[in-house]
């Protein structure tokens, strides 16, 4: 069973859930914003995926579930449960393993290139993916690399885009899971943020135009990423997978 941890209604599993459905892999979703509780045991799940959200990892007084989530993530690392943190999820796993989470010098919103580091080029998470490719971004914070961890990718605006901090324990600052509908919902929900950055980051229409241009390559990249991650996690047999076009 794959566990998704949601922090806000509009930031769900997206195309990751599509991939799991297509390959008959069961999953469950815990939505902390709706009052669901953080599970106490990591090994109850074969893989845990921690999704994004607008909160900061240190806003534990306002978002009390972050304390319980930090405890769970520490257990995940100790028990070597395969884990993927996306955006906020990546910042949370970095914090849980002793790294700092701080404001990025600039907000990174829209479609941007990331570059694989030497470690990233050798890591199975990015197997058969190009050294440089475009991803969707929406973040203002950034994570450090914990002691013993590895930086797997970087971008012009954010030096730490992907990290490995244990066996099959990963965090990515960018989004692989977004759909067109999710981009629309985020842009509508965070209109004030986009307006405050007008002329600096992409607006809603530019993000959607870019999605239309990049959709095919983006979908192929996401598929390969999921194959890589779930194969390493032991949920997917090599050469036996499917993904809707």
What residues act catalytically? 87, 175, 177
Query: DSSP label at 144?
Result: P
Both tokens of 119, joined, read 């470690």
Q: What's the length of the chain?
A: 245
Which of 182, 144, 187, 195 minimizes the C-alpha distance to 165? 144
Q: Do 172 and 126 form a contact (C-beta atoms < 8 A)?
A: no
Going by C-beta distance under 8 Å and a sequence separation of 6 or more, which residues neighbour residue 67? 60
CA distances from 115 to 18, 62, 91, 142, 158 (A): 26, 35, 19, 16, 11
Q: CA 195, 198, 202, 205 torsion: positive or negative?
A: positive
Q: Would you list the DSSP string of 36-68? A: PPPPS-STTSSEEEE---SS-TT-TTTSTHHHH
Q: Which residues pair with 137 in a beta bridge?
A: 110
CA distances from 197 to 108, 186, 242 (A): 10, 15, 39
Report the C-alpha gap between 189 and 195 in whole angstroms: 12
């Amino acid at each position: 069973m794959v566990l998704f941890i949601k922090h806000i209604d509009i930031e769900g599993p997206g195309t990751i859930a599509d991939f799991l459905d297509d390959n008959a892999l069961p999953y469950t979703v815990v939505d902390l914003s709706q009052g669901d509780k953080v599970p106490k045991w990591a090994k109850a799940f074969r893989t845990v995926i921690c999704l994004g959200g607008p909160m900061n990892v240190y806003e534990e007084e306002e978002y009390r579930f972050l304390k319980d989530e930090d405890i769970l993530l520490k257990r995940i690392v100790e028990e070597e449960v395969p884990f993927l943190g996306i955006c906020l999820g990546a910042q949370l796993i970095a914090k849980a393993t002793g790294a700092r989470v701080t404001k990025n010098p600039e907000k990174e919103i829209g479609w941007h290139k990331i570059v694989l580091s030497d470690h990233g080029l050798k890591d199975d998470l990015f197997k058969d993916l190009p050294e440089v490719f475009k991803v969707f971004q929406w973040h203002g914070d950034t994570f450090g690399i914990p002691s013993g961890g590895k930086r797997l990718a970087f971008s012009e605006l954010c030096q730490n885009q992907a990290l490995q901090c244990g066996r099959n324990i990963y965090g990515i600052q960018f989004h692989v899971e977004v759909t067109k509908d999710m981009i629309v919902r985020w842009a509508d929900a965070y209109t004030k943020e986009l307006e405050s950055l007008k002329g600096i980051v992409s607006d809603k229409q530019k993000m959607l135009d870019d999605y239309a241009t990049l959709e095919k390559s983006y979908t192929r990249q996401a598929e390969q990423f999921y194959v890589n991650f779930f194969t390493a996690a032991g949920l997917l047999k090599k050469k036996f997978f499917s993904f809707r076009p």
